[in-house]
Structure 1
Amino acid sequence: MIIYILKKIVTFLFIICVLAQISFCLVYFVPQSIFSDLTFIDAYSAFFKQLLQGQFRLASGETLPFLDTLLTTFELCILALLVALLVGLPLGIFLGLSNINWLNATIRLASLIFYSCPIVMLATIVMYYLSAKWSISMNFDIPPSVTGSSLLDILISSRPEKLKALLDQLHYLLLPTIILAIQPSIMTIQLVSENVKNTSRQNYIKMAIIRERSPFKVLRRHLLPNSIPATIPQLTYNTTTLLFFTMVIEILFNRVGLGQWVMMAYRNHNYFIISIAILACGTVISLLTLLGEITAIAIYPLRHKEHYV
């Protein structure tokens, strides 16, 4: 298992290195590049030095906090994935085991309706009806440049009312997180229900039902360990869509992140920011995929053998 995880980490680092080379080429060869007055070697060294520092300095003197912006977007993605798992796992298991046809059909119909709704329209409608009652503006007095993650900034701060500030920040993040978690939750419900239903039809599950007296033991010992780990890597395949939706939510809620970066670059035709945004998007997608693979192996270590069959 350790060798398998190390291979995944090496693959992740290789992908990041390739993306960094592509981003450097876009930065160096575009018109009016900030490295135009440097040689190729000096520009290469300066680019990766700024990348390791997590700060990119433009020709105008403005500084782009790469790591802070990356962590801000990554924070919202992780919160949405956690909500999707908390909602999707129980409903998916219920749909996979339930024989109540009308209830199953109702849940599937509601899932299809929400899944077919464009996230821009859904977010706009929710903001229109809840903007008067719900806080959709940032209420956080600690500088965001500490870690890039507002929740981590609160946790490591020395302010006296840390719990109240954390609850206020979670209250601010709840609305965009719920909107962002709708489609991942629906995908989780569909994948979990299909895997649970297929696993429940296997012969070893039928034998376990005969041997075990309690159905909860069958569920906990046999059904879930053989169905849930196979679902987690499938969920990571939709990280590209999740990242796109996260950027849209950041633009709609005026939240600092990759979405604001891309919008600013599009308005100003700033190819430097676009190239860094490509590197940041690839990093988030690769990191979420890596975490999904490691989580699946940690839950069910024997699963990695299927990659060598």
Structure 2
Amino acid sequence: MQGIIRTFILRLIGLPFTMLLLSVCVFVVLRLLPSDPLSMMIPPTATAADVENIRTALGFNRPIPVQYLTWLQAALHGDLGQSIALKAGVSQLALNALPATVELALTALVLSIAISLPLAVLYFRARAWRAIALSLDVLFDFMMSVPAFLWAIALILIFGVFFNLLPTAGRYGSEFTAPGPTGLVLLDFLVHADWPGLRDAMSHLVLPASALALGFTPLVVRVIRGALIEVDTAPFAETARQRGYSESRVIWRHLLPNAAPATIAIIGTQFGFLLGATVLVESLFSLPGLGNLMVQAVKNNDLPLVQGLAIVFCAFTLVINVLADVALVIFNPKARTQ
């Protein structure tokens, strides 16, 4: 227990310094881009003096270090700036969009793990059959090579257009109203026992979550399989077999629990890539999340919004990494002594 608490505290201590470094990188990189975020605010009839007045009012005429310190002071008080295109606070926009992204990413993660476990066991046991193992290698290579947005397009065409089985836009149908207050519509419908709304929200989430999970699953499968191979010759596995346990019981009751640390580690390190894939997937499925909002911000050259959303994405990923580290210590006794 002490090791778990110590790991959690150490990761929390390092979190602000990591966020500070990330904010510097994001701020500087965006300021060095050749695009001008003020272009959409300046009317065609504006004079050079008008342009300079707007630039001065927004602080874009000051040195980058001064701009950053001004922004950082406001950010520490929860103010990430003002969206140029949407005329609203970036913090509130991000807060409103965050639940949709959290729900999509976590659902995709759970779905990926649920698919990966039986596939990893099949992949592990297929070592004795070279043809099956080779076929699975080709299948997983193919799945990993297809980006999430292509999976999304394929799923929309197959299940939304050709067969018309599942909805392809929004988080729930227009006949429903999310009861709140969390913004996580599955949880909100569940808490309020709105079963038709819950079923409808789940049907809307199937395709976008599957698009993300299909690209993430092969990586998890291969990590679990590698961990299974590593613990397969451990003394506890040999003891279980000597007691007459079936191979399936040995794998599911003894090998898989010991493969958990490797799985948790890869989920923590790769979750950022899964989160990044939500950008185009949310846009394709018209989900009102951070990814869709980021696409709009980039289209509109909305620098404050792009900057604020990038910081939120980074913070979300870091929090998941901290939780993964703590979970790794919980499931891996060796990590508690390191």
TM range (shorter): 0.7 to 0.9
SS in 1 for 2:182: coil
State the 1:251 CA deviation: 1.2
| Matching residue of 2:146 | 117
In the alignment, structure 1 residue 94 sits paired with structure 2 residue 122 = yes
* C-alpha distance in structure 2 between counterparts of 1:68 and 1:34, whole Å: 27
Per-residue displacement from partner, 1:51-106 (whole Å, max 9, x unpaired)? 4xxx8544664244222322321221111110111010122123223423333333
SS in 2 for 1:97: helix
Instruction: List aligned pairs for 1:247-266, cutoff 5 A.
Output: 247-266=279-298
* C-alpha distance in structure 2 between counterparts of 1:240 and 1:21, whole Å: 19
SS in 1 for 2:77: helix
Instruction: List aligned pairs for 1:12-51, cutoff 5 A.
Output: 12-20=15-23, 32=55, 36=59, 44-51=72-79
Structure 2 counterpart of 1:71, from 87, 99, 102: 99
| Matching residue of 1:174 | 206
Residues 260-269 or 72-81, more deviating = 260-269
* C-alpha distance in structure 2 between counterparts of 1:167 and 1:25, whole Å: 45
* C-alpha distance in structure 2 between counterparts of 1:227 and 1:43, whole Å: 44
Gaps of 5+ in 1: none
Instruction: List aligned pairs for 1:1-309, cutoff 5 A.
Output: 1-20=4-23, 32=55, 36=59, 44-51=72-79, 57-58=82-83, 61-64=87-90, 65-98=93-126, 99-132=128-161, 133=164, 134-138=166-170, 139-140=172-173, 141-142=176-177, 146-156=181-191, 158=192, 162-210=194-242, 212-215=243-246, 218-219=250-251, 222-298=254-330, 300-305=331-336, 308=338
> What is the alpha-carbon root mean square deviation over aligned residues?
3.2
* C-alpha distance in structure 1 between counterparts of 2:276 and 2:147, whole Å: 12
Letter aligned with residue 302 of structure 1: P
Gaps of 5+ in 2: 39-54
Partners of 1:68 and 1:145 within 8 A in 2: no
* C-alpha distance in structure 2 between counterparts of 1:33 and 1:290, whole Å: 40
SS in 2 for 1:181: helix
TM-score normalised to structure 1 length: 0.82
* C-alpha distance in structure 2 between counterparts of 1:27 and 1:116, whole Å: 30
Query: Compared with structure 1, are the counterparts of its residues 220 and 6 closer, same or farther at alpha carbon in structure 2 (3 Å cutoff)?
Result: farther
Per-residue displacement from partner, 1:22-46 (whole Å, max 9, x unpaired)? 6677899986487539997876544
SS in 2 for 1:254: coil
Partners of 1:56 and 1:63 within 8 A in 2: yes
Residues 257-266 or 100-109, more deviating = 100-109
State the 1:9 CA deviation: 3.0
* C-alpha distance in structure 2 between counterparts of 1:200 and 1:22, whole Å: 44
* C-alpha distance in structure 2 between counterparts of 1:246 and 1:127, whole Å: 15
* C-alpha distance in structure 1 between counterparts of 2:24 and 2:179, whole Å: 29
Query: Alignment length, in residue pairs?
Result: 299
Partners of 2:81 and 2:305 within 8 A in 1: no
Partners of 1:187 and 1:235 within 8 A in 2: no
Query: Compared with structure 1, are the counterparts of its residues 44 and 223 closer, same or farther at alpha carbon in structure 2 (3 Å cutoff)?
Result: closer
* C-alpha distance in structure 2 between counterparts of 1:180 and 1:297, whole Å: 27
* C-alpha distance in structure 2 between counterparts of 1:33 and 1:27, whole Å: 18
Partners of 2:149 and 2:211 within 8 A in 1: no
Give the structure with higher Rg (CA): 2
State the 1:150 CA deviation: 2.2
State the 1:294 CA deviation: 2.6
* C-alpha distance in structure 1 between counterparts of 2:275 and 2:117, whole Å: 21
What percent of counterpart residues are identical?
Answer: 19
